[in-house]
A and B are shown apart, each in its own frame.
Chain A
Amino acid sequence: MSDALTMEALARLVPVGSRVLDLGCGDGAMLDHLQRTRACTGYGIEIDDANVLACVQRGVNVIQLNLDEGLALFGDQSFDVVLQIDTLQHLRNAETMLRETARVGRIGIVAFPNFAHWPNRLSVLLGRMPVTRRLPYQWYDTPNIRVGTLADFDALARKNGLLIQDAFGLEQGRVLRWMPNARASTAVFVFTR
């Protein structure tokens, strides 16, 4: 999900000048973008060696941590924004981390592949797990251990008492607000405590 339009659509959700914590920051491209175009500061969290190296190469602050160990390093409401972009689907403790995201950040922004996107539904209807551009893995080797939908996340957020400030779909960088759960391959939520 690194294409420029998607990144820009997500970056627009981040207030200018925010202090940002990017959970699962990958190669640091998003933080770099936020620092250059929106005067943000902050840190990325990554577990992968190559991604940590890429962040240091870019000059993006990165902290090598396993998110499944939690966010004990970070104080309550110590960031303006906590991002989880294509991270949630890799977490064993996705629910805990959702609460942690809301604890550490004043605003939480989560984006993840929406399993209810119509090509996925069609595939399952035909009896096979989907393999798409957005979910390019076979069922037996996917790193996405959590598959959910816009509607699922909505329910999880409410269960945890989070206030959803905005929710929409993203399809090839375009924001979809009409029937996003069927029409968008990416789900996006903005929430607060």
Chain B
Amino acid sequence: MHFAAALALQSGASIRDYDLSFETYGQLNAARSNAVLVCHALNASHHVAGVYAGQDRSEGWWDTMIGPGKSVDTDRFFVIGVNNLGSCFGSTGPMHVNPDTGHVYGADFPVVTVEDWVDAQARLLDALGIETLAAVMGGSLGGMQALAWALQYPQRVRHAVVVASAPNLTAENIAFNEVARRAIVTDPDFHGGNFYAQGVVPKRGLRIARMIGHITYLSDDVMNEKFGRQLRHAVLGAGAGDYKYSTQDVEFQIESYLRYQGDKFAEYFDANTYLLITRALDYFDPARAFGGDLSQALARATAKFLLVSFCTDWRFAPARSREIVKALLDNRRDLSYAEIDAPHGHDAFLLDDPRYLGVVRSYFDSIGRELEGAP
């Protein structure tokens, strides 16, 4: 959908004549009360559920969660997935032409924040004729958007579902983001962010950024269980398990896995988008305007909340979700909080743990009952 009017951004800049890609699933009811907005994290898109006809492996990124008969039941709810500004899956991003200059944005794409994304999403809902959301939901960075929704548009959100998220990033989290950004920015193919004109892609930087990210999404236990100290050539059946005594070849299976993930990512993801989205993560901090007092910051939120965290998630640890729980408790808001003992680390929010999916299903059942009971 095209938006001609300028959107004022938190930085003071603005963006005009931009597009937002979105998908919807299910039917909006007559009262327009059953809409659920799904917010994506770093590398996902508006394609949250289902498959594209004739395309293998085209499941939406939250297909375990969302669909007919699933936890977020699209037979009951009207689900909207939207690709954020600055991303690289159809919405206007750094690879598109800046209408002010006639040149590709590249490094000049304005810095966007979680709050800016929420404003852009709100405009999309306006255009779709949806005033109130039954729920806004997201995991990780998507959870931050769900939280921001409850703060920026409290009257438009009945429920916020915040999964594996945090009220801001820790220094360690920012540090990981910075390593990833430096990998990209120092790739000679990056050209200060204006690599499009050079016909190259800073794939080396993207690969390394993805490898680092991937390590932080998994838990030590899962990595050990999945890969342990397995040797690559032994897995391929090519040897009796002797070391190659090489410093640069792939030796261990985990190396092969990370390289594969890095290669795959570098094929489809945009380098400037990676910088923009990790920066949006870094900047998110609703308590900042309140001297660090999250309880004060969340006083504006009137939505009911479901929060979920995963015990082995060290990137967005349960303690961070509990900070949000505490701030909501201080404001006497309705909330439920589940801490799922899943082994998969941060990635667990995308996987099909029955306890996790069961809690979300029950929560959406109660939202559904509320909608049906509402006058």
Contacts and interface: CB of A to CB of B under 8 A. Distances in A.
Interface of A: 19, 43, 49, 52-53, 55-57, 59, 61-65, 73-75, 78
Contact of A62 (B326, B330, B337): B337
Contacts of A59: 366, 369
A120 B338 CA distance: 38
A73 B338 contact: no
B326 A56 contact: no
What are the nearest 5 A-B pairs in CB distance?
Answer: A56-B362, A57-B362, A59-B366, A64-B339, A63-B337
Nearest to A54: B362
A44 to B, nearest CB: 9
Interface of B: 306, 322, 325-326, 329-330, 332, 334-341, 355, 358-359, 362-363, 365-366, 369
Contacts of A65: 337, 339
B200 to A, nearest CB: 49
Given A55-B336, A63-B336, A73-B322, 15 more contacts: A49-B341, A52-B338, A52-B359, A53-B359, A56-B306, A56-B338, A56-B366, A57-B366, A61-B334, A62-B336, A62-B338, A63-B335, A63-B337, A73-B329, A78-B329
14 contacts: A43-B329, A49-B338, A49-B355, A56-B306, A57-B366, A61-B335, A62-B337, A63-B335, A64-B339, A65-B337, A73-B325, A73-B326, A75-B330, A78-B329
A62 B362 CA distance: 12
A61 B336 contact: yes
Contacts of B325: 63, 73
Contacts of A49: 338, 340-341, 355
A64 B338 contact: yes
A57 to B, nearest CB: 4
Contacts of A78: 329
B319 to A, nearest CB: 11
B317 to A, nearest CB: 14
Contacts of A63: 325, 335-337
A33 B298 CA distance: 29
A34 B329 CA distance: 19
Contacts of A19: 332
